[in-house]
Amino acid sequence: MVPLGFLFSPLKIGGLDLANRVVMAPMTRYFAKDGVLTSDAAAYYRRRAEGGAGLIITEGAAIPHPVAQFRSTTPDFFGEAALAVWRQIVEAVHAAGSSIMIQLWHPGLGREVSRTNNPHEPSIGPSGYHPFAEAPTRSMTDSDIADVIAAYGEAAATAQALGFDGVNIHGGHGYLIDEFFWTETNRRDDGYNGAIADRVRFGVEVVREMRRRVRADFPIMFRFSQWKTLLYTARNADDPAELEQFVGPLADAGVDAFDASMRRFWIPEFEGSDMNLAGWIGKLTGKLSMAVGSITLEGPLRTRTDKKLGEVAAASAANLVRLGEMMERGDFDLACVGRAMLANPDWANIIREGAFDELRAYDPASLIQLECSEWKA
Ligand SMILES: Cc1cc2nc3c(=O)[nH]c(=O)nc-3n(C[C@H](O)[C@H](O)[C@H](O)COP(=O)(O)O)c2cc1C
């Protein structure tokens, strides 16, 4: 018997009532043209909402800042044309009875400069240095910092005005906010570097500004990871005390829920306990927490960093037993599903019905075809 009662029980995040705890993970799909999605995106998200997910988190979208666009094929969260499509997406997901948060993204030095519309404009980061950055780059001035913080606030206000049910801040994977967290990329000699309290300051100021721009019960979720897109062994925190110094101030600044980004959700985070990153963050902050990473899949998100869409991963319901046990004992509150929900838009309904044999494998090649025809339909 798979203990999944918790997965299908309701949950409140701030003022938001979720029908269940199954969440679609934020996933970039490169379907935008010049930062604007087509209305097919509404059908794509609606299918996952109809498939039973209680909450959809959108692909990462650029905050209103000149070098926040990852590529020209990733969506903007500013400008009339882009926002008109986002409004349709919100309406489509709500019509299917689900909730939706926008993922707000500034890629910092992770920006793929040559694939943007403004390749001569340098990417920015705490110190202009990132082991995998594409030139040109420069370090952020005080006014850059103020501009980016204001842009996050603006994006949060826009999300609330468009009818989104909350925001998910991309604070992981080696992008801008995480570049401040990580010692390798933060080489500043001002108040934004030094102790963890200094490295977390930028993220805290972002959250505080967003909280100031939205109503008190508008949910703010924060994605935190140890791993970086191009370096899986990277870590921000080596023990629970260090982790607390990151997530404590973020919680105090106004985060309602943490999205703990892992590649395999069952792996213990620190020695001496079988709790994962989501478990630790929930315990240390007292806030809601969410786990992600290979739920119902036999292979993790990419074993090689050069495979953008990942590799073939077989479907298996085996790790649902562990998921259910961890949720039942209170380690985390939400389960976030990425690749398995791309391959199975109706993932939540399949699991709820126990129809595990119907789960399809994740295959990036067939996915590209599937999604193209899905989007053109
Ligand atoms: C195609 C693809 C695109 C992704 N894009 C994003 C993104 O825009 N923002 C983000 O925070 N994570 C992104 N991720 C990571 C997922 O949100 C998720 O954390 C990861 O896939 C692990 O979950 P899974 O094992 O269930 O797939 C992406 C993953 C995939 C496979």
Q: 134: which 2 tokens?
A: 């594409």
Closest-CA residue, ligand 1 atom 13, reads 27
Distance (Å) from CA 282 to ligand 1 centroid: 21
- Number of helices followed by number of strands (H, E) in the chain: 12, 12
Interval 274-300 mean pLDDT: 95
Residue with tokens 């935190």: 224
- C-alpha dist (Å) from residue 365 to 29, 263, 312, 369, 370: 13, 20, 8, 7, 9
Residue 365: pLDDT band with limits 50, 70, 90: confident
Q: Note if the pTM is more than 0.85.
A: yes
pLDDT of residue 194: 96
For the question of residue 152 being annotated catalytic, the response is no
Nearest-angstrom CA–CA distance, 342 and 371:
9
Residue 138's φ and ψ, nearest 5 degrees, are: -155, 160
Helix, strand, coil percentages in the chain from 3-state DSSP, rounded to 5: 35, 15, 45
Q: Which residue in the list 44, 45, 175, 362 is annotated as catalytic?
A: 175
Residue 299 confidence (pLDDT) above 70: yes
With H, G, I as helix, E, B as strand and everything else as coil, classify residue 257: strand
Interval 75-91 mean pLDDT: 98
- State the CB neighbour count (10 A cutoff) for residue 256: 20
Q: Is any atom of ligand 1 closer than 6 Å to the C-beta of 293?
A: yes
Residue 369 confidence (pLDDT) above 80: no
Closest-CA residue, ligand 1 atom 28, reads 27
Pocket test for ligand 1, best of 28, 29, 221, 224 (most atoms within 8 A of CB): 28
Is there a contact between 280 and 270 (Cβ–Cβ < 8 Å)?
yes
Distance (Å) from CA 6 to ligand 1 centroid: 23
pLDDT of residue 372: 46
Residue 312: pLDDT band with limits 50, 70, 90: confident
N- to C-terminal Cα distance for the chain? 39
